[in-house]
Amino acid sequence: MRVSGQLAVIAVLGAAGFGGWYAYKGGHLANVPVIGAYVSQPAGQQAGAPRGPGGRGGPAGPATVEVDAVKTGRIVEIREAVGTVRAYESIMVTAKVAGIIGKIGFEEGQKVKAGDTLVQFDAAERRAAIEQAAAEASRATALRNEIAIKLERAQALRRTGAGTEAQVDDLTAQMKSLEGSIASAQAQRKAAEARLEELTIRAPFDGRVGTRSVSLGAYVAPGTRITSLDDLSKVRLDFAVPENLLGRLEPGQTVNAVSAAYRGRTFKGTVATIDPRVDQTTRTARLTAEFNNPDEALKPGMFLSVALEVSNKDDAVVVPEEAVVSEGLRHIVYPVKDNKVERRVITIGQRQGGKVEVVEGLKPGETIVVLGVQRVRPGAEVIARPVGSGAPAAPVPAANREQPSRSSLNVPQAIGSAQAAERK
């Protein structure tokens, strides 16, 4: 083909392309049967849709949002920690003296009362010592009584002149010596009774004994472990909190604790002691809380998760969490006044039960956007509905409506255009 023919073909194709573009731009193709069904209207308007403010191609109306009034409520400041349980009273029962176990008066795991006998050592030797001291005291008492009679006679003879002063003095000295012997024998008896008492180990308080480490007839040395005794009617819980809370801590604050062993159960106690010293390594203060434990569910050594109620406010300003938008380190809410939206930066405090405490930036009674915050802009007008009332159903897009003229021609709908309109 010659060059002139090629140039003519290019000119014709260019003219046809320009004409098609001009017809598309002016919207003339939409009026052509079959073709118009596949050609979207200018400016995003769907075929057959009305133009102007009433159609989808017109300016968007006010956004519909759900609002709620700012309220006041109770907010509790919680600090979490971990702690270890120990018995309210706890001792390791040990032998004070050496001896042979003659009686064991408890069963492992048994509850005992204060004063109950736990272990009795063989006491035959100690009882013999007591009897010997008692016999010595009786002998000295009998001698003293005999000397007392002789002394009375000597004193009577001295008054009549038949007796001598030296005889009276000698009997008096014997009386004093025997009284000393009696006192010594009585002291020896008391000491033997005390040593006998050492051979009996009694419970110093009400509690539950643990496993025993000795058997009947065993010889034990001083300090040998026999069993343990714990008062579990109440327990103590030791945990630590940061030192920056010291100014707000006081005995009597509520402590809630949970254990992995009892899912769904919360143990409630109160702070009993605040350690006056701060740990120099961890910079924490140690607290001790007390819990009533009537069913003895809490055992010494258990690990508990602790929630300490540091403070509480009954009139705190609270808003739903959905109403707060985070922008970096700032927190934003959108108050509504006269159906217009305002953007406001707030300072938040504690979060609790789907609510957020507002420390600064809002007052009770103000109206804020709760649902639909992503659709509002500062200064924009909105349609405010009470939260929970539900938004109205969205209108059906024009492209999705039935068009009889096209259906009669068995022409497929412009699906791609309808989806694009819905995304807008």
Concatenate the DSSP letters of all residues of 334-393 into one string: -BEETTEE--EEEEEEEEETTEEEEEES--TT-EEEEE-GGG--TT-BEEEEETTS-PPP
Taking only the tens place, the pLDDT of each residue in 21-43 is: 665 555 555 455 444 444 444 44
Taking only the tens place, the pLDDT of each residue in 342-377 is: 999 999 988 888 888 899 989 898 999 999 888 888
Measured distance CA(289)–CA(252) in Å, rounded:
9
What pLDDT does residue 150 have?
80
Predicted model pTM: 0.57
DSSP 401: S
| 33, two tokens | 């049967």
Taking only the tens place, the pLDDT of each residue in 328-338 is: 889 999 999 88
CB under 8 Å to 375, separation ≥6 — which residues?
63, 65
419 membership: H or E segment, kind and range: helix 415-423
Is 240 in contact with 287 (CB distance < 8 Å)? yes
Question: What length does the chain have?
Answer: 424
Alpha carbon distances (Å) from 395 to 61, 97, 288, 375, 390 = 13, 95, 63, 18, 15
Taking only the tens place, the pLDDT of each residue in 73-84 is: 888 888 899 999
pLDDT over 70, % of the chain: 79
Is 54 in contact with 205 (CB distance < 8 Å)? no
Buried b (16+ CB within 10 A) or exposed e, 384-416: bbebeeeeeeeeebbbeeebeebeeeebebbee
Q: Does 302 score more than 80 pLDDT?
A: yes
Alpha carbon distances (Å) from 195 to 101, 121, 217, 233, 381 = 15, 11, 19, 33, 95
Residue found under tokens 């003659």: 102
CATH 2.40.420.20 fits 316-386, yes or no: yes
Domain boundaries, the chain: 3-56+397-423, 96-117+203-223, 123-198, 316-386
Cα–Cα nearest to 323, from 366, 281, 292: 366
Q: Does 1 score more than 60 pLDDT?
A: no
